[in-house]
A and B are shown apart, each in its own frame.
Chain A
Amino acid sequence: MLLRLTALLSLLFMPALAHAQEAAAEADGIDAAINNAVAPISDAIAAVIFFTVPIFGVDVPLIVFWLIIAAIIFTFYFNFVNFRAFFHAIELIRGDYSNPKDAGEVTHFQALATALSGTVGLGNIAGVAIAVSLGGPGATFWMIVAGLFSMSSKFVECTLGVKYRNEYPDGTVSGGPMYYLSKGLAEKGMGGLGKFLAVFFAICCIGGAFGGGNMFQANQSFQQLVNVTGDEASWFADKGWLFGLALAILVGVVIIGGIKSIARVTEKVVPFMAVIYLGAGLVIILINITALPEAVMLIITGAFSAEGVAGGAVGAMIQGIRRAAFSNEAGLGSAAIAHSAVRTNEPITEGLVALHEPFIDTVVICTMTALVIVITGMHQTGGEIGGVELTSMAFGQSISWFPYVLALAVILFAFSTMISWSYYGSKSWTYLFGESRTMDLIFKFIFCVFVVLGATMDLSAVIGFSDSMIFAMALANIVGLYILAPVVKADLDSYWSRLQTGEIRKYA
């Protein structure tokens, strides 16, 4: 089966392969060609989404406001549920409140782990490096703040994702912003708006799946591979198309061929790599422990300074928030799709569980990356080195062989993120074009093509497109969250009071 599938896929890629091999004979041929073709389009889209307004002399993209203001509003509206329910959420994740009769169904832990596999990716490693190099160490502070507030956005969307999911007669479930926007708003008498937002969201989600969930991951993992194999001198240097092709085939085998074994391996290895990554980060911080107070000072002063790198405090804020949003995806609605499969009678519990997603992703993992970069002084290299290369250098400074581990980790994180986003994208695609096998396959094939594109294009063009589509999802999603927030509040109040009175109890 596997053999036949690989053969089929190779056949499909054969024309591209042949052409690419010819073109690559000229240095950077394919890579440059693709880049030149796509860059103008991505720039145009980025210009619209990231429409900026000058504030205190710094250009602030409105979309960043959109996200962070929603996060702040929700935090207050739900009375700081992100802190109130922090420990209860841990109990939910452990399964203390799970009915033993539901053994065998999707647990809170599994839903969270699946969603995390999708969100923990290159954003945590490369994105943070970009933030810190462009916005200075202060970006770290605002990233943490943004991460804490955005827990509330994630809470709202994941509750709604479960609440308005479709449960089919054959036992499968489908949930996500497409459904809560159309169904939820219809309940409020805004069916037309709901449908429009759902479609808008689906389109942007498909774009996001191709961009941040795909191209960015392929691009940065390829970048790291080149880094550790000798930079310009690397045999891989101009073979982005080849790496992309190999990756595309692997991804294709899993998502099209349904070869679960590869995905199953990744899903086990990724948490392991996360632990290694965090462990290494801790080790580096401990090695440089004497520099830690200074690093923290740099972060705090950089967060509030009036001048400095790229607009000082404001620049730090923008970069910090932007990367936090890109990394933890709160407010975008994508995680709601993953969390919606959980087995529960109380949708609000999944929202509470989802609080930990931005926490783990941003406040723990991203902060770790940022600390390593600042503590090793790598942030001072300026805007020349960006992305994963910077992170690699920062780690490599204290643990010389770590860049190799990082390369492996990065490829695995990228792979698992791509699997997840191909799911989000295909759910959106089939929502738009019908739940048929053919439609599903068409999307997945296109998805694989984008893997190759992502590996070949320049970082800046890829980032522009990725960010645009991802943030555009938030445009539709957050409107829905605002409208449906009262529904969630009613659920939360009801659940919380029942919890306090003991009506909802742990299972012994």
Chain B
Amino acid sequence: MAEVILLGIDGSPNSERAADMAADHAKSTGRRLLVAHVIEWSPYTFNTPEENEVRHKRREEEIDRAEAHVVRPIVERLKKAGVEGEIVVRHGHAGEVLSQLAREHDVKQIYIGRIGQSRLRELLFGSVAGSLVQISPVPVTVVP
């Protein structure tokens, strides 16, 4: 199986910088590039019955919207840099899903942008970068 570089994006400007770095890495090593976007979702929430009724439909919509607005622009950017990116959109917690993907594919390195949330939010809820670095099975590059 070809070696893979995993790029985690969230639509912020940091993602673009991370994408650029990941593209460079992919070009110089000849590794495949996997572009992943994680839609924050928890299996343990309390919903109203109406939310559950339409959840299946909503999920599809969320994935389509993410693919169109978050992932496609990055893939276009990568194409311009001469790199083909494979797309993955999943629900879950960003840190966990990226680690999971790293295990599923032969991922050698993960690139993510540092989200740069407010200090308070980071303190209270943790950051994706922070949690991923703790649990990732492979090296992680956090691009500011």
Contacts and interface: CB of A to CB of B under 8 A. Distances in A.
Contact of A105 (B44, B50, B55): B55
Interface in B69-116: 90-92, 97, 100
B45 A110 contact: yes
Interface stretch (B5-13, B15-23, B25-33, B56-64): B56-64
Interface in A417-432: 419-420, 423-424
B57 A170 contact: yes
A267 B50 CA distance: 12
Nearest to B90: A103
A424 B41 CA distance: 26
A104 B53 CA distance: 13
A109 B100 contact: no
Contacts of B45: 110, 113, 267
B39 A104 contact: yes
Contacts of A424: 49
Given A98-B43, A100-B100, A104-B62, A419 B48 contact: yes
B54 A95 contact: no
A113 B44 CA distance: 9
A174 interface: yes
Contacts of B44: 107, 109-110, 113
Nearest to B44: A109
A324 B125 CA distance: 40
Interface string A192-208: 00000000000000000
Contacts of A270: 46
Interface stretch (A18-26, A144-152, A337-345, A466-474): A337-345
A104 B41 contact: yes
Interface footprint category on A: 35 or more
B47 A114 contact: yes
Contacts, number: 88
Interface string A164-188: 0000001111100000000000000
Given A100-B100, A104-B91, A114 B54 contact: no
Interface residues of B, number: 26
Contact of B57 (A95, A117, A171, A423): A171
B52 interface: yes
A420 B51 CA distance: 11
Contact of A110 (B46, B62, B90, B100): B46
Nearest to B51: A260
Given A103-B91, A103-B92, A104-B62, A343 B56 contact: yes
A437 interface: no
Contacts of B56: 105-106, 171-173, 343
A399 to B, nearest CB: 26
B46 A172 contact: no
A110 B43 contact: yes
A263 B46 CA distance: 10
Interface in A429-461: none
A157 to B, nearest CB: 16
A208 to B, nearest CB: 15
A95 B48 contact: no
A114 B53 CA distance: 11
B48 A260 contact: yes
Contacts of A268: 46
A331 interface: no
A111 interface: yes
A478 B114 CA distance: 57
Contact of A114 (B46, B59, B63, B92): B46
A12 to B, nearest CB: 22
B57 A341 contact: no
A337 B48 CA distance: 12
A338 B52 CA distance: 8
Contact of A338 (B49, B57, B90): B49
Nearest to B93: A103
Contacts of A98: 43
A257 interface: no
B61 to A, nearest CB: 9
Interface in A111-158: 111, 113-114, 117-118
A172 B53 contact: yes
Interface in A228-266: 260, 263-264
B54 A117 contact: no
Nearest to A269: B46
A110 B52 contact: yes
A271 interface: yes
A420 B46 contact: no
B63 to A, nearest CB: 8
Contacts of B59: 104-105
A98 B45 CA distance: 15
Interface pairs A-B: 4 shortest CB-CB: A104-B91, A171-B57, A341-B52, A267-B46
Given A341-B55, A419-B49, 8 more contacts: A104-B62, A104-B90, A105-B55, A107-B44, A110-B46, A111-B52, A172-B56, A420-B48
Interface of A: 95, 98, 100, 103-107, 109-111, 113-114, 117-118, 170-174, 260, 263-264, 267-268, 270-271, 337-338, 341-343, 419-420, 423-424
19 contacts: A100-B100, A106-B52, A106-B55, A107-B43, A110-B46, A110-B52, A113-B45, A113-B47, A170-B57, A171-B54, A172-B53, A172-B54, A174-B53, A260-B51, A267-B48, A338-B49, A341-B53, A342-B52, A420-B49
